[in-house]
Chain A
Amino acid sequence: MPGITREEVAHLARLARLELKPEELDRFAGQLYDIIGAVARVSEVADQDVPPTSHPLPLTNVMREDEVRPSLTPEQALSGAPAQEQQRFKVPQILGED
């Protein structure tokens, strides 16, 4: 069982878009280590030749006719937006200046 270091937690937090505080990194490192240590038991079955189950139902694509139907108005869709402009979600700058 590999340990989980503070640096790994920081990396996971970056991947998960969580700006963790230093004290959270320390606390989570210990807790994640304990949890992963406990759940690692599942690897007992890693070599068994059984198919994986991702879902309790046999999933198939559900299709419908491509028809125009009533839906949210732009005002409703934008009603929870932290910021909006010209019927659009206003977000912080994504692309660089140049």
Chain B
Amino acid sequence: MTDIIKLTAAETAAKIASGELTAVEVTEAHLARIEAVDEKVHAFLYVDREGALAQARAVDEKRERGEKLGPLAGVPLALKDIFTTEGVPTTVGSKILEGWIPPYDATLTKRLKAADVVILGKTNMDEFAMGSSTENSAYGPTGNPWDLTKIPGGSGGGSSAALASFQAPLAIGTDTGGSIRQPAAVTGTVGVKPTYGAVSRYGMVAFSSSLDQGGPCARTVLDAALLHEVIAGHDPMDSTSIDAPVPPVVEAARNGSVRGMRVGVVKQFRGEGYQAGVIQRFDESVELLKELGAEIVELDCPSFDLALSAYYLIAPSECSSNLARFDGLRYGLRVGDDGTHSAEEVTSLTREAGFGPEVKRRIMLGTYALSSGYYDAYYGSAQKVRTLITRDFEKAFEQVDVIVSPTTPTTAFPIGERADDPMAMYLADLCTIPTNLAGNAAMSLPCGLAPEDNLPVGLQIIAPAMKDDRLYKVGAAVEAAFVEKWGHPLIEEAPSL
């Protein structure tokens, strides 16, 4: 008897399609797991028990009627609480939206439902996706299943923790500066930031609109590809949605290979601040790629040294504008409406009470960067850096098919360690940010445990825009080689909780 919660999404879907398991059995097994461990992990902000079981029953009925099922029919998923869900609370990890019930589904939510995926609930996150540890959630931190005293990454720490603790085989994240890849790296799971514009942002609460991108999270490369195919594609409701076919990601994941590929290693992605064990596992991964038939090319991308600085001007600038919609007038929290305060005062009191410290910091940082007198020096220069980074990537991809790097400079750090030091927290996204600024695609997958702390290390693969399939082709080859080397997937070494 196989343990249902340990199955991959692909295995689960096959067993449901063949009738070996029902979608209700699978959903009940995961709800029981959530019941058993989530008090410790705190991956979920809301568990939609009734909704999940209803969706599962619908899948089973569809199968009994002989109707065609989608590739992930009946597979449970943990949805980051940044996507709107009709009739189900959506908080974005913020008190300002506590108790808000959206009247509509995000396009991504609709696609999941149309594909018969079972949405178990909404996962914890840094407030408005601003953070790298999930400690900025207004609803308390999430523990890393590998060590509950460590952070699960952020902003999508609830999604990564749900995967690593076998509460769901699939999850959704969003990645503005690394919020899918960094949590994947520190929890030994797989996360993909698709090309900007590949997955609709309609119904995804905006943080930094030119950087935000939803994407798939899973425990295997193939599962991520199957989910990628469900959620990607053109959406007329999002004016930045790419109107082009989705790259053949599933086919690539089923045919992993790096033979004859040119793989770039960027000299800027190492040095001071990188943990020795992270560099060791990364160097081993590069050796492995060589053994598998890839040609390694050294690359120099000098502008990457300015990426973090540019990001922390651009993202706060866009956030200060986007979050202006939280005015306490139309939805969400309202404070001070007692007849003694003006509308403007009510807005200021509401935002003061509803936003947490990191959100306030970024709103003010953005307000500063965009204010007259500083605009050219800060925001204007940051936009120039963005051009230089895009050019460095263009030059690099003339020489290589993909780039690899560590996903994060360190493994998971202790909860609380960087909570009062914003700059130290920001360094967690050092390797992931350039991709967001340029808009291309990237994946993180596990490449071992760091010897000094036995915590997972992530390998990042970066591909040019619209070449998301290359991530899966390379990722599947690396994953298969590691599983062969270790004798099992890394996630099997995670504590059982």
A72 to B203, CA, bound (A): 14
Specify the main secondary structure of chain A where it touches its partner. loop
Given contacts A51-B387, A57-B240, A92-B346, contact A80 B103 (CB under 8 A): yes
A50 to B306, CA, bound (A): 15
Given contacts A32-B361, A92-B337, contact A17 B351 (CB under 8 A): yes
Q: Is the CB of B309 within 8 A of A53?
A: no
Interface residues of A in 40-74 (CB under 8 A from B): 40-46, 48, 50-57, 59, 61-62, 64, 72
User: Which range contains the number of B residues in contact with the other chain?
Assistant: 35 or more
Given contacts A17-B348, A31-B361, A80-B103, contact A46 B383 (CB under 8 A): no
Partner of A42, one of B196, B239, B313: B313
Q: Is the CB of A53 within 8 A of B368?
A: no
Query: Interface residues of A, CB < 8 Å — how many?
Result: 55
Proximity bits, B304-323, A CB within 8 Å = 1, else 0: 00101110110000001000
Q: Is the CB of B329 within 8 A of A39?
A: no
Which residue of A is nearest B337, CB measured? A92
Which residue of A is nearest B373, CB measured? A2
Given contacts A17-B348, A52-B383, contact A82 B334 (CB under 8 A): yes
Specify the main secondary structure of chain B where it touches its partner. helix
Given contacts A15-B371, A17-B351, contact A35 B312 (CB under 8 A): yes
User: A residues within 8 A CB of B242?
Assistant: 57
User: A residues within 8 A CB of B438?
Assistant: 56
Interface residues of B in 372-395 (CB under 8 A from A): 376-378, 380-388, 390
A52 to B101, CA, bound (A): 39
Q: Is the CB of A28 within 8 A of B360?
A: yes
Q: Is the CB of B361 within 8 A of A28?
A: yes
Partner of A62, one of B239, B308, B363, B368: B239
Given contacts A28-B364, A42-B382, contact A53 B387 (CB under 8 A): yes
User: A residues within 8 A CB of B355?
Assistant: 18
User: A residues within 8 A CB of B70?
Assistant: none
User: A residues within 8 A CB of B378?
Assistant: 36, 39-40, 42-43
User: A residues within 8 A CB of B465?
Assistant: 56
User: B residues within 8 A CB of A18?
Assistant: 348, 351-352, 355, 360, 363-364
Q: Is the CB of B388 within 8 A of A35?
A: no
Given contacts A16-B320, A18-B360, A57-B240, contact A31 B101 (CB under 8 A): no
A-B contact pairs, 16 of them (CB 8 A): A13-B364, A17-B347, A24-B357, A36-B365, A39-B309, A41-B306, A45-B384, A45-B385, A46-B377, A53-B383, A56-B390, A59-B240, A80-B103, A83-B334, A91-B346, A92-B337
Task: Give the interface of B toward A (CB within 8 A).
Answer: 100-104, 196-197, 210, 236, 239-240, 242, 306, 308-310, 312-313, 320, 324, 327-334, 337, 339, 341-349, 351-352, 355, 357, 360-361, 363-365, 367-368, 371, 376-378, 380-388, 390, 422-423, 437-439, 465
Task: Give the interface of A toward B (CB within 8 A).
Answer: 4, 8-9, 12-21, 24, 28, 31-32, 34-36, 38-46, 48, 50-57, 59, 61-62, 64, 72, 76-77, 79-83, 89, 91-94
